[in-house]
Amino acid sequence: MSKNMKELLIMITGDYVVRDSNSRIPDPNANSVLIRNGRVLAIGDSKQLESEFGVDVFYEQPNTIIAPGLVNTHTHSVQSLLKGIADDKSLLDWLKDAILPGEATFTSEEVFVSSLIGYMDLLSHGTTFANDMLTVNYSDKGINAADMIGIRVKVGKMLMDMGEGIPLKLIQDTDEAIEESYHLIDRWHLKSSLIEYSVNPRFLVTCSEKLMRKASEIVSSDPTLSYHTHANENLEEIRLVKKLHGMNYIDALREYGFLGSKSIIAHGVWLSEHEKYLLSSTNTAVSHNPSSNCKLASGISDWLSLKNRGIRVGLATDGAPCNNTMDMFREMRLASFLQKVSKLDETVTSAVEIFDMATYQGAVALNHPELGKIRPNSPADIVVIDISSPSHFPLHDLISHLVYRASGSEVLMTFVNGELVYDRFRKNPFVKLPSSVISHAINIANRYALDKPWKTRDPN
C-alpha cells in the first residue's frame, strides 16, 4: 500500500546545514535535512539518513547551504504594484501623493495581483513567514493570494477611519471596518496551518480612538489573534499623533488597549525612555525595518537598546515602495552596519545576533517560537542557498557568510511546512501556482505601470 503524501520521507541535501544562529562552523557530518508530515525528522549525513530511515523524495542541490526560512516581521505585500512610483519623497508626502491614492484606487483584481507579486518576492528571496498588512479594501483577495502560493502569514485588512487629506475610499465607517474584520476572521483565521489573522490599524494618524478601542476588543476576544500597527516611525508623524490624540504615541497605544504580548509595532525609531519602558513592561514586540527607515529618512532605530531591555525585536523589509525589494538578506547586512556606524563601534553587534533576529527572534516576536530553527520536530520552513560562485569561498563562518555575503537572489528553493513552494530551476518556479496565474499577474503589473492609474483614477 502506497504511503500517504504527508507520510513521505523527504530529504533535502546540500553541502552544509545551518540549524540556527549557533551553526557557525561547517559540519561535514550534516549536509541533509529529513522531513515527514511537514516537520523536521532528522539532520545529518545523507547516506546515513537514507540507510536509517529510507527516503521517498530527494532534493539534491550541490554547492548549497540549507538554512532556516527567514521571518519578515512587517511588510505590505499589497503595495507591490506601487514599487518605484514614489521614490525620494518624505514619509507623509510619500503616503499622500502616491501610496494612499494607489491603494485607494486598486481594483479587487489588482489587490490580488499586487499581493501575489509581493508573496512571490518574499518566497523567492528566502522569507517563509511574513507579518503582512494589506489595505482597506478587498483584503479577502490578498489573503487568498497567500493561501494559493503557500506562504506562512499573519495577515489582515488595514483599518482606517479618519485622516486629513486621506482618500475617501480608504476612510471606512468604524463599525463597518470592525464588522468586516470579524467576517475575515471567520473566513480565514486558522482555517489552514499557514494563515493567521491579525488586526491592523494603519497608524494613529488615520485611526480614531473608537476604532482603536474596538480593534483591541477583537484581539482580546480570542487568544489566538494578534495586533499589528506602525508607531514612532517619523518625527512629523509623532508630532501629528500627539496633536490628534493628546498623548505620546506609546501612551496612546497603551490607553487604547494595544500594548501586550500579542502586539507588534513596526519601526519604533523614535522612542523615549518612558516609551521603551512601556514596551518592555507590557511585553510588546517591535519590528526593525532598516532599509525603509533609511530610504524614507526616518532615522536609525536603536534596536539594540530595545533588545537589551528584554523587548522582542524582529527584522523586516516593510513594503516594496519604501524598499523596492523584499530581500531579507539585505536587511540583515544593513541592520548590522547601521548599528556599527551609528555608535562608531564595530563590535556593538555580531552576525550571530543579526541572523537570530531574522530567524528565531523574529518568530518569537510573532509568538511562534517553534519556527526560525531547523531542529527535530520543528515545522520544516527551509531555504536552500546557492554558493557555487567562487566569491563564496572560503567558508570560515556560515553565519557571517549568510549575513554579510549571501543574497536573496541566490535562493534556489524554499520550503514551507515541508512543502516545496519555490524552485528556481523550474519553468514555473512557484510550484503551487498555475502558470496562467503567474503570466496574468505579470500582464496586470505591466499594464499598471503603463496606465499609471493612481494618477488618473478618482481616489475619493
Instruction: Quickly list DSSP for 318-370.
Output: --GGGTS---HHHHHHHHHHHHHHHHT-TTSS-HHHHHHHHTHHHHHHTT-TT
DSSP state of 21: T
Could you tell me if 199 and 159 are in contact, meaning their C-beta atoms sit under 8 angstroms apart?
yes
The total of other beta-carbon atoms located within 10 Å of residue 340's CB is 14
Q: How far apart are CA 203 and CA 158, in angstroms?
A: 10
Average pLDDT of span 338-343: 96
Q: How far apart are CA 421 and CA 301, in angstroms?
A: 33
As given in the structure block, the three cell numbers for residue 87 are: 521614490
pLDDT tens digit string along 76-132? 999 999 999 888 877 778 788 889 999 999 999 999 999 999 999 999 999 999 999
Geometric angle at alpha carbon 401, from 397 and 407, rounded to 5°? 165
From residue 181, how far is each of 223, 408, 453 by CA, in Å? 16, 34, 27
Question: At residue 23, what is the residue type?
Answer: S
User: Lowest-pLDDT range, 11-15, 93-97, 125-129, 241-245?
Assistant: 93-97
Give the relative orientation of helices 108-124 and 139-149 as an angle to the nearest 10 degrees: 40
Whether pLDDT at 1 is above 50 = no
pLDDT tens digit string along 343-353? 999 999 999 99
Handedness of CA 167, 169, 173, 178 (dihedral sign): negative
pLDDT tens digit string along 372-427? 999 999 999 999 999 999 999 999 999 999 999 999 999 999 999 999 999 999 99
Could you tell me if 111 and 139 are in contact, meaning their C-beta atoms sit under 8 angstroms apart?
yes
Average pLDDT of span 162-173: 94
Q: Of 332, 343, 311, give the one whose Cα is nearest residue 399.
A: 332
Element (H, E) at 175: helix 174-188
Whether pLDDT at 5 is above 70 = no
Q: Of 168, 251, 181, 232, give the one whose Cα is nearest residue 211.
A: 181
Q: Is the peptide bond before 321 cis (omega within 30 degrees of 0)?
A: no
Domain parsing of the chain, residue ranges: 70-365
Could you tell me if 76 and 118 are in contact, meaning their C-beta atoms sit under 8 angstroms apart?
yes
Q: Of 234, 329, 235, 331, give the one whose Cα is nearest residue 291.
A: 331
Handedness of CA 109, 110, 112, 117 (dihedral sign): positive
As given in the structure block, the three cell numbers for residue 160 are: 482606517
Average pLDDT of span 273-278: 97
Element (H, E) at 201: strand 195-201
Average pLDDT of span 17-22: 96
Question: So what's the pLDDT on residue 3?
Answer: 61
Task: Region of 138 please: left (phi>0), alpha (psi -120 to 50) or beta.
Answer: left
Alpha helices in 125-173 (DSSP H): 139-149
Mean pLDDT of the chain: 95
Question: At residue 70, what is the residue type?
Answer: L
Percent of the chain with pLDDT over 70: 99
Average pLDDT of span 153-178: 96
Higher pLDDT, 323 or 173: 173
As given in the structure block, the three cell numbers for residue 68 are: 532556516
Average pLDDT of span 428-439: 96
Is the CATH number of domain 70-365 2.60.40.10?
no
Strand segments, DSSP code E, in 39-169 are 39-44, 57-60, 64-68, 70-75, 127-133, 152-156, 158-159
Whether pLDDT at 215 is above 50 = yes
Report pTM: 0.97
Could you tell me if 252 and 273 are in contact, meaning their C-beta atoms sit under 8 angstroms apart?
no
Q: How far apart are CA 235 and CA 245, in angstroms?
A: 15
Average pLDDT of span 315-344: 95
Number of residues written out for the chain: 460
Whether pLDDT at 172 is above 70 = yes
